[in-house]
Amino acid sequence: MRMWVYVVRRILLLFPVIIGVMTITFAILSALPIQTHLIATFGASKIPYTPMVPCSDVGQPGNGQCRNPTYFQLVHQLGLDQPIWVQWAEYMKNSLTLNWGTVNYHSNAASAFSLTTSIPVTTVLGWYLPYTLELAALSLIIILAVALPLGNYSAVYRNRPIDQAARVMSFSGFALPGFLLATLVLFAAVILSGGATPTCNSNSTHYFDWYGSWPPFPQCANQPTWIGTYIQTSPTGFPTIDAILHGDWFLAGESVRRMLLPALVIAYGSVAGILRFVRNSMLEVLNLDFIRTARAKGVPETAVVSRHAGRNSLNVTVTVLGLTFAGFIGGFPIIEDVFYLHGVGLLLAKSIQPTQDFGLIFGTTLLFTIIVVVANILVDILYAYLDPRVRLG
């Protein structure tokens, strides 16, 4: 029951963090000049966005500057003329009720994904989130599968060739710029796969559609019906899972194959941190007294490392998984942009330049944050479960 108290506390701590992050985004937004908001909301039409205009423009005598009624009307419409804390409260209310505004259909993000009318940001995020989650899961699996054994090895064989090799490998991954690695890998993959062979329409706008992106055959006539107009799939929205649910093993395999490459790039880029941590925690554990006890008991060395040290160092490692997660998910915009993988990262990448779509930018950021926080909580609960000192109070 101590465990439950712990879990509930952990979940309660979620809210201040989320609110804090929202406050940060609010601070940034309210620091922007008012014009930005006007343009973002009403599009770049002919409406004069300046508070003072020549009097003639507003049909008043004299040649001085007069207040621009349209401007103030729009400002009032957006509630930007209210005191800051009222705006904050409003912002909080909207954010917490998942009312994150709509996609600005003038922005190039909208055009990139052919979002014609202004759709709620949350809806779009709902479409794109599953891809990011699948990618994250895949990369996390790869990272752990590599880092845990390798880290233990390099701890046991400290400063010996295997240790050095493991470190060089992982650090090189850290040191290679993600965009560079991703692009080259993709380039190589395209070459190896015999270049670009469009499957159903050759005049695709984005070259890399043919390799990296999902769904595998965009705008194809023979696209299965459970893939919607946009990239959302039914019923769950997770492409692989849906493909399996519909028994379409080819597409399932296809989607995994297409996520494999970006996942590998991400894993390669972020395995270093956790490997280093596994190694160090293992080194510490191996110096502890109970390891000596185990040896004195006559436990064979392999068992000492795997059972006695391994479990302990794993427990320690679990504690940093959350941070690792926060680390590598930050790289998603770039990777998803390169591989043109329809995830939240791509959404973000498309919505920042040349004209920003603030709805999407802040929406995606918030979403990433929530992912990280939730991951952290899950990790903590896992740790609490693994370690009797926490589990039993």
Interactions with other proteins, residue window 264-283 (CB under 8 A): 272, 276, 280, 283
Which of 328, 342, 359, 384 is in the footprint of other proteins by CB under 8 A? 328
CA 371 distance to own-chain centroid: 7
Binding of other proteins at residue 359 (CB under 8 A)? no
Smaller CB separation from other proteins, 24 or 256: 24
Q: Is 167 in the site for other proteins (CB under 8 A)?
A: yes
127 binding other proteins? (CB under 8 A): no
- Kindly state whether residue 149 participates in binding other proteins, applying the rule CB under 8 A: no
**DSSP for 126-163?**
HHHHHHHHHHHHHHHHHHHHHHHHHHHHHHHTTTSHHH
* 315 interacts with other proteins by CB under 8 A: yes
Q: Rule CB under 8 A: say whether 228 interacts with other proteins.
A: no
When asked if residue 379 is in the footprint of other proteins (CB under 8 A), the reply is no
Rg (CA), the chain: 26
Residue among 92, 326, 381, 382 that touches other proteins (CB under 8 A) = 326
Cβ of residue 253: shortest distance to other proteins, in angstroms? 26
Distance of CA 252 to the CA centre of its chain: 22
Contacts of 332 (CB under 8 A, 6+ apart): 132, 135, 136, 266, 343, 344, 345, 368
Shortest separation between residue 287's beta carbon and other proteins, angstroms: 7
Of 15 and 249, which has the nearer Cβ to other proteins? Answer: 15
Our finding on whether 377 is near other proteins (CB under 8 A) is: no
Residues 85-114 that bind other proteins (CB under 8 A): none
From the list 46, 44, 67, 40, the residue with the least C-alpha distance to 55 is: 67
> Is residue 334 a contact residue for other proteins (CB under 8 A)?
yes
Beta strands (DSSP E) in the chain are 52-54, 65-67
Shortest separation between residue 10's beta carbon and other proteins, angstroms: 11
Q: What is the distance between the alpha carbons of residues 282 and 286, in angstroms, rounded to a whole number?
A: 6
| Angle, helices 249-286/310-329, rounded to nearest 10 degrees | 130
What is the Cα–Cα distance from 124 to 335, expressed in whole angstroms? 19
- Applying the rule CB under 8 A, the residues between 198 and 217 that interact with other proteins are 206-207
Binding status of residue 38 toward other proteins by CB under 8 A: no
